[in-house]
Structures are given as C-alpha cells and as structure tokens.
Amino acid sequence: MQYPDRDKSTTLKDMVAENDRPREKAKAKGFGALSTPELLAIIVGSGTVGENVTELCQRILHDCDEKLYRMGRLSIRDLSRNYRGIGEVKAIEILAALELGRRYHLERFDEANQILSSKDAYEYLRIRMDHLSHEEIHVLLLDRAKRIMHMERISSGGTAMAVADIKMVLKPAIERLADGIILAHNHPSDTPHPSDMDNRLTKHVKDACKVMDIELVDHIIVCRGGRYYSYNDNNAL
C-alpha cells in the first residue's frame, strides 16, 4: 500500500467527493447553493493531508465566530502563520476577495445615497468602518437634500482612540460647500456608548459648525453587529 506524500498539498479533487466539490456544485446549482466555507474553498483551492480545503475553511471561519467581517480584520500574517495550508499568496487572495465584497456593497449604497435617518447613515458607514481593528474618524458631507457629496477620513489612531483636529473636520465641508455633515467614528471594542472625549469632540464640532453655517446632522459611533450610537437620536447634539 502506498501512502500519500504528507508534504504535498491536497486539492479539492483529491479530497472531496465529486458531488460535494464546490466548483462542480456551483456549476450545477449556482453560487447561492454553496455554504460560506465552500465559497472560501473555491478561493483557497487546496487543503492539506488530513484536512480537505472545505474543512480548512470551516476551521478558519469557526475561529472567526462564523463571521466574515472578523476574518476581514485578520492580517496576511495572521492567516499564513496560524493555518497550515494557507501561505502568504492564499492569505492575500482571501483578503482580496473580502475587500471585493465590501466594494460591491459600497457601490450598491452609492446608488441610493440619501441619508434620511441614523440607520441610513449607519448602513452607509458600517461597510466602510466596522471591519477596522483601529479607530478612525470620518466626516460625511451632505447637500441640502441630505444626499451624500463626499466622505473623507479625518484621522486614524490605535485600538483605543483617534484624535480629530476641528479645522480638519470642517476643511472638506468648506472646500466642497457642504450644507451639512455627519461626523463618524468607530469603536473597535464594539461598545456603542460615547466616551467623555467623544462628547467633547461633538460639542467642539457643533460650535464650529454654527460659526460656519454648516449643520451638524449627527455624530454616529459605528460598531459591528448592527450596533451604533446616534447623538441625534439620543438628543445629545
């Protein structure tokens, strides 16, 4: 009996029964019939001896609490060092696919970009921000009809906080003659409650907006899992 070479990666074809192969299943039934691990398996392409590619992808997903946005927070180094069968090239391919998914949703929201509620703002912002492992501050520029004119990153910080310069918050709004702005930042801890520093920032931005005749429509704290804090909804502006 000849044993397989343990140093050789095992392909989808070698390890999975034909009826269960993700590529064949996609051709026969469409991509909607595939589970998330099966879709990832198509990208990864091969597993290792003792663990086929779908099992490998299932394990990675399990370690990310079955959430793709958690996987999107991993680095190339995280994936290639922690999972046998995932080298640097495969790690890059996985993260590139996740970034394509984000951009797909961005395009969909850009086609209907009027902000009529805090939920509209959150849905627009979360795709851009909830995958971040560090804190960033952004400003959303609005015209008089609350349509999005532009979104700009103001600052980027560590896992705890980013610091905003009030002049830099208002600069893009003044340059583009925006009628209103929505200030936004994320909490990587996923705790939606504002800090004292968040409250001070909101007050300073609101005071500056009054001077420049620009409406501060809201300040949104973006977290994952549908959680966010709206200063406007909480009468805190």
Cα–Cα distance, 198 to 214 (Å, whole number): 20
- Percent of the residues in the chain that have a pLDDT greater than 70, as a whole number: 86
Tokens of 15: 């390890």
Q: How is the chain split into domains, by residue range?
A: 10-106, 114-230
User: What sign for the dihedral angle of Cα 33, 67, 115, 105?
Assistant: negative
Which residues lie closer than 8 Å to 225 by C-beta, 6 or more apart? 190
State residue 140 phi and psi, 5-degree precision.
-105, 120
Q: What is the pLDDT of residue 185?
A: 95
SS3 assignment, position 234: coil
The CATH superfamily of 114-230 is Cytidine Deaminase, domain 2 (3.40.140.10)
Q: What is the pLDDT of residue 114?
A: 84
Cα–Cα distance, 166 to 204 (Å, whole number): 7
pLDDT tens digit sequence for 153-212: 998 876 555 667 899 999 999 999 999 999 999 998 888 999 999 999 999 999 999 999
Instruction: Provide the angle, in degrees to the nearest 10, between the axes of the packed helices 36-44 and 88-110.
Output: 130
Average pLDDT estimate for 18-27:
75
Place of tokens 């893009």: 172
Query: What residues are paired with 148 via a beta bridge?
Result: 142
Q: How does DSSP assign 8-75, residue by residue?
A: S-EEHHHHS-GGG-HHHHHHHH-GGGS-HHHHHHHHH-EEBTTB-HHHHHHHHHHHTTT-HHHHHTS-
Per DSSP, which regions of 52-193 are E strands?
136-142, 148-156, 180-186
At 127, the pLDDT band (50, 70, 90 cuts) reads confident
**pTM, whole model, 2 decimals?**
0.63
